[in-house]
Chain A
């Protein structure tokens, strides 16, 4: 099977992301990377948990002063929904529907941007209302490193998906780019996995005290 071969709906393989050796290797290699990312985020979580609420004086804001339920809730819903829309995109990829796949990816990217916008607003709010900055306390450093790293992952994911969409806009689907789209969607899900722990461990448990 040639990677750039033209396919009809009937000849399009059931698992196009794993139909070539390159696709198979990409898939496996990407999961190895995700294993490493797990360790990376776990160490950032560990640092955050050890340094939570470690502030130099009584005036500094603590987790329960900073976090608000509504903002975290909206951000969570945006990211969770974007996970589903990327599942829809991959569903259409498997059915060889290039246009629908692109359309769902556009929605995914839009939700990702909305999430990122909220995060920028949130950080800005903490810095200006609470003087909670990266250098104001050990708590601040640990918080911005963990949540900021996740935000950077979201930003990278957006650049990645947009690049794939633009680069393949006129090419359509083939076995060369199917694994690329698939792996990008896996990355997007992983970002969501990390966020589930961030909203639980950082925000919800921070509000509980």
Chain B
């Protein structure tokens, strides 16, 4: 676990180890960011390049958005770290209510 404090008797050894851990984690964050930019480019290209059917484009760009948000939540917002059980409960409860609302409004509401 990158974020746990270790109990080394020598704080300087501990510091070196933690700095390395933090730098490693930062490297993963930059990789995540690169992937997110890549997904965004694909989504914009799918819309910008003419010729694709919208039955193809819509599910693809939605999927790219979901993947990107998972990266954002689990890496940038640290949900991949331990001790995020309650947090996941909060978020997924919100998502469950939210998605049912969206589903309702796009299916059984018509104006």
Q: Which A residues fall within an 8 A CB radius of B?
A: 9-11, 13-15, 28, 31-32, 34-39, 41-43, 45-47, 49-51, 54, 69, 72-73, 76-77, 80, 83-84, 87-88, 91, 94-95, 138, 186, 189-190, 192-193, 196-197, 199-201, 204-205, 207-209
Contacts and interface: CB of A to CB of B under 8 A. Distances in A.
Contact of B33 (A14, A28, A84): A84
A14 B18 CA distance: 7
A209 B3 contact: no
A87 B76 contact: yes
A168 B72 CA distance: 27
17 contacts: A15-B5, A32-B90, A34-B91, A35-B94, A38-B94, A39-B94, A46-B102, A46-B105, A49-B106, A80-B36, A91-B22, A192-B72, A196-B69, A197-B65, A204-B43, A204-B57, A208-B58
B47 A50 contact: no
A10 B12 contact: yes
A95 B58 CA distance: 42
Quick one: which of B6, B93, B98, B106 has the most chain A CB within 10 A?
A: B98
Nearest to A43: B101
Nearest to B78: A186
B47 A208 contact: yes
B86 A28 contact: yes
Given A32-B90, A38-B91, A88 B26 contact: yes
Contacts of B46: 204
B40 A76 contact: yes
B51 interface: no
A145 to B, nearest CB: 14
Interface of B: 3-6, 11-12, 14-15, 18-19, 21-22, 25-26, 29-30, 33, 36-37, 40, 43-44, 46-48, 54, 57-58, 61-62, 64-65, 68-69, 72-73, 76-77, 86-87, 90-91, 93-95, 97-99, 101-102, 104-106, 109-111
B72 A36 contact: no
Given A14-B5, A51-B111, A200 B98 contact: no
A20 to B, nearest CB: 13
A109 to B, nearest CB: 17
Nearest to A192: B72
B80 to A, nearest CB: 14
A138 B110 CA distance: 13
Contacts of B64: 200
A209 B54 contact: yes
Quick one: which of B4, B11, B21 has the most chain A CB within 10 A?
A: B11
A36 B110 CA distance: 26
Closest 8 CB pairs of A and B: A42-B98, A38-B94, A35-B94, A46-B105, A35-B90, A10-B11, A200-B65, A31-B87
A14 B4 contact: yes
Nearest to B26: A91
B69 A28 contact: no
Nearest to B6: A14
